[in-house]
Amino acid sequence: MRKIVDIQKKLLPDLMQVMEKRYDILHRIYLAGTIGRRTLAASVDMTERILRSELEVLRTQGLLDTAPAGMTLSASGKQLVEEMEPIVKEIFGLSDLEEAVRTAFGLKRVIIVPGDSDASDHIKMELGRAGSRVLRDSLSSGDVVAVMGGSTMARMASQFATPSQMKDNWFVPARGGLGESVDYQANTIASELAKRTGARYRMLHVPDHLSEEAYQTIMQEPNVREVVDMIRSARIVVHGIGDAITMARRRKLKDETKEELVKDGALAEAFGYYFDRSGKVVHRMATAGLRLEDIEAAGVVIGIAGGSSKGEAIASVMRFGHDDVLVTDEAAAIEALRHV
Amino acid sequence: MRKIVDIQKKLLPDLMQVMEKRYDILHRIYLAGTIGRRTLAASVDMTERILRSELEVLRTQGLLDTAPAGMTLSASGKQLVEEMEPIVKEIFGLSDLEEAVRTAFGLKRVIIVPGDSDASDHIKMELGRAGSRVLRDSLSSGDVVAVMGGSTMARMASQFATPSQMKDNWFVPARGGLGESVDYQANTIASELAKRTGARYRMLHVPDHLSEEAYQTIMQEPNVREVVDMIRSARIVVHGIGDAITMARRRKLKDETKEELVKDGALAEAFGYYFDRSGKVVHRMATAGLRLEDIEAAGVVIGIAGGSSKGEAIASVMRFGHDDVLVTDEAAAIEALRHV
DNA sequence: TTTAGTTGGACGTAAAATGTCCCGCCGTTA
DNA sequence: TAACGGCGGGACATTTTACGTCCAACTAAA
């Protein structure tokens, strides 16, 4: 059963949405017993006319009876709702969890894929796909998108699919930083996204750990300057979320810095910043690119991370409070809710 | 698995069509390896533009890669097609059967519901629902519909659902005939259909087995005359199909008439006529209403019957050759094909 | 180099979806 | 009993979407 639903989700994403909508309507009527169109419209948050079209379909299917006093489910309508409950849980079951996470961290939107990224590579891929969908749906014409690095971001990029070319979009790395493996660098990811979508991109080649002097010098370079300005004007920011200690090691921070991080209670890392349990910034990576104020100014900030081991880190970054959208998996979501 | 799909079909009536269409597209690309839009359009029999919209969905879902040389399935697209093959067989298995029956009897359209009406009442209901759908889809504004009696027709009527009122349609009994139980009389069925749809109806109260004289007299009655004229002008005729002997018994024909029927090889009964194996009329019910020439003149003739026991009778009536649409079940269809 | 086939863009038209308003009906309440 | 509020459903202008059609740019193979 699981299988056919998965297939349908891939093949008929539009119809699945419609299905949810129609089930929602039926379910409300089921609960209300008998209810009028206008009342119902308010309750399921649709305009009256659009609801009406849906009701016509349901009536055609014989699921709905109409009387002057209002609408009621027919026998087969009631039966359908009852039979559907477990199926709906299966298909849309994570929406409750999504809503819980959304309100817990005050986010605009939360997408949760089923499973645990720590346990299976397949889930990691799904997470990437979900992330790419969110990014695609957030994109408007002319948008500049700043992306961070990391393996999750790389998977997101590799799963990105677009119906048409996006010639007037830009992808840029959110920050410099060449320390990591090339595949996972923000530069690489920005360029892959651009290639997959027909968009344009810019790279930012600024080494980590620059002295203040060298930093100032390199920032004088017109082409570096130009890229940095573009990064700072990004309307959309997409980033992964990491464990602070792991990230520090991967970035080869000095031992004393690492100790300092531990002392300050650094727990999570995102877009070059290190956060403690309460979401406070305790350290920042020394490189050019997106600053905190740019993140605050960005239109849409999307965080992507999954796996139960990252739950706490995700909670920490979400408490920081500048993300709009979180894409995660079931295990991480449950774990994150424990650390609200 | 069957169950979940059945439920979804109620909520999304065109789910199957869309799914089949998209699968078909993917499958062709799968077979072709790499193929262009125009070639593909011809191969799946769609216009170029409509195919293009579908392709966009598939591309968005990451199932499809596009290159200047043509389109190819992505890895997950290939996987999807492979996973779908058995599912498609199960879900769409009946469409092959439908096509076989359609061509065997030269019909315009065949609808087959899974199962055997003889075995389960549930299937009988499904048959009724399928029949009501066909009738609904055939209806145009202003149509006069002549319906016959019988338990299948009664179930069809009770399952009829319409999205909106049909005030300018008429339902009339195809023939007189009061011999049977009231619930199954054509008059009752016409009135129920009218009530369920907001359409108008006329009744025809003419007893069976009238003498020629009485028949002529009753036909002089203006209101009888009027109804009969309306019946004969019906654009749509809907009828069940019965076993000749059973029907003869139910209509309380005289023993000698029954013997005659047997002698003439009467096998099936439909709209008051008895047919032999080859589809030739061997007897007619003596009552007012639709004549053979009216059936030939009707725009749409819909036959509804199911159950393996009726397979032969169905084949016989279909050979008669004036039906346009057949609604039946899996068992009857298989049986009918044996008697082509 | 030519040719046939490909994608993607563009655009006017047709069709469907939608917002909006109103009417007549019915049960309830004053 | 009369007024009222909520009901379904009809109607219609308008917006949005789908669709048919044509064309330009490009590529791979002949």
CA A290 from centroid of its chain's CA atoms: 19
pLDDT digits (tens, 9 = 90+) for B258-294: 888 899 999 999 988 999 999 999 988 777 788 888 9
pLDDT of residue B208: 67
Footprint of strand D on the protein (CB under 7 A): A 35-39, 49, 59, 66-71; B 47-50, 53, 68-69, 164-165, 167, 198
Out of B64, B90, B116, a domain closes at B90
**Nearest nt to A164, CA vs C1'?**
C8
**Domain match, B154 and B269 both:** yes
pLDDT digits (tens, 9 = 90+) for B2-41: 778 888 888 998 888 889 899 989 988 888 888 888 888 8
Residue A135 is inside which H or E element, if any? helix A121-138
pLDDT digits (tens, 9 = 90+) for A146-181: 999 889 999 999 888 887 777 788 999 988 765 667
> Which of chain C's bases lie under 7 Å from a protein CB?
5-10, 17-21, 24-27
**Domain match, B138 and B31 both:** no
Q: What mean pLDDT is reported for chain A?
A: 88
**Domain match, A75 and A129 both:** no
**Domain match, B36 and B148 both:** no
pLDDT of residue A238: 96
Mean pLDDT, range A68-93, rounded to an integer? 84
Nearest to A206 by CA among A237, A185, A233, A236: A185
Q: Distances in Å between the alpha carbon of A221 and those of A40, A175, A178, A216, A224?
A: 61, 16, 18, 9, 5
Which of A19, A62, A76 is opposite residue B8, by nearest beta carbon?
Answer: A19
pLDDT of residue A303: 96
Question: Is the pLDDT confidence value at A1 over 80?
Answer: no
- Distance between A187 CA and the closest CA of chain B, angstroms: 23
Complete DSSP assignment for B43-104: HHT--HHHHHHHHHHHHHTT-EEEETTEEEE-HHHHHHHHHHHHHHHHHHHHHHHHHHHHHH
Mean pLDDT, range A275-290, rounded to an integer? 86
**Domain match, A81 and A120 both:** no
Contacts of B18 in chain A (CB under 8 A): 12, 15
- Distance between B129 CA and the closest CA of chain A, angstroms: 9
Q: A88-92, A298-302, B180-184, B191-195: which has the highest mean pLDDT?
A: A298-302
The answer to whether the pTM exceeds 0.95 is: no
Mean pLDDT, range A194-207, rounded to an integer? 85
**Domain match, B146 and B35 both:** no
Whether A295 contacts A281, CB under 8 Å: no
Mean pLDDT, range A250-261, rounded to an integer? 84
Residue B245 sits in a domain whose CATH number is: 3.40.50.1360
**Domain match, B105 and B44 both:** no
What percentage of chain A reaches a pLDDT higher than 70?
Answer: 98
pLDDT of residue A267: 92
pLDDT digits (tens, 9 = 90+) for B66-119: 888 888 898 888 989 989 888 888 888 788 899 999 999 999 999 999 889 999
Number of structural domains, chain B?
A: 2
pLDDT of residue A328: 96
Contacts of A3 in chain B (CB under 8 A): 83, 87
Contacts of A63 in chain B (CB under 8 A): 10
Question: Is the pLDDT confidence value at B189 over 60?
Answer: yes
pLDDT of residue A233: 92
**Domain match, B71 and B180 both:** no
CA B300 from centroid of its chain's CA atoms: 10
Task: Look up residue B224 and give its two tokens.
Answer: 């009888």
pLDDT digits (tens, 9 = 90+) for B215-257: 888 888 888 889 999 999 999 999 999 999 988 888 877 888 8
Contacts of A62 in chain B (CB under 8 A): 129, 159, 161
Indicate if CB(B198) is under 7 A from strand C. Answer: no
Whether B170 contacts B204, CB under 8 Å: no
**What whole-number distance in Å separates Cα of residue A223 and Cα of residue A180?**
23
Nearest to A129 by CA among A340, A300, A280, A329: A329
Residue B13 sits in a domain whose CATH number is: 1.10.10.10
**Domain match, A189 and A232 both:** yes
Determine whether the interchain pair A60/B3 forms a contact, defined as Cβ–Cβ distance below 8 Å. Answer: no
Out of A42, A58, A90, a domain closes at A90
**Domain match, B125 and B234 both:** yes
pLDDT band at B180 (very low <50, low <70, confident <90, very high): low
Q: Distances in Å between the alpha carbon of B228 and those of B89, B147, B204?
A: 47, 13, 8
pLDDT digits (tens, 9 = 90+) for B199-212: 888 888 877 667 77
Distance B69 CA to D29 C1' (A): 11
**Domain match, B229 and B266 both:** yes
Which of A5, A19, A56 is opposite residue B11, by nearest beta carbon?
Answer: A19
**Domain match, A78 and A145 both:** no
pLDDT band at B147 (very low <50, low <70, confident <90, very high): very high
What percentage of chain A reaches a pLDDT higher than 90?
Answer: 34
Indicate if CB(B163) is under 7 A from strand C. Answer: no
From B160, which residue of chain A is nearest by alpha-carbon distance? A62
Contacts of A122 in chain B (CB under 8 A): none
CA dihedral B284, B289, B292, B296 (to 10 degrees): -150
pLDDT digits (tens, 9 = 90+) for A101-147: 999 999 999 999 988 999 888 889 889 989 998 998 888 888 899 99
Q: What mean pLDDT is reported for chain B?
A: 88
For residue A10, the enclosing domain spans 1-90
pLDDT of residue A289: 82
Determine whether the interchain pair B57/A10 forms a contact, defined as Cβ–Cβ distance below 8 Å. Answer: no
Question: Is the pLDDT confidence value at B127 over 70?
Answer: yes
Out of B90, B122, B152, a domain closes at B90
Determine whether the interchain pair A11/B3 forms a contact, defined as Cβ–Cβ distance below 8 Å. Answer: no
CA quadruple B265, B267, B270, B271: dihedral sign: positive
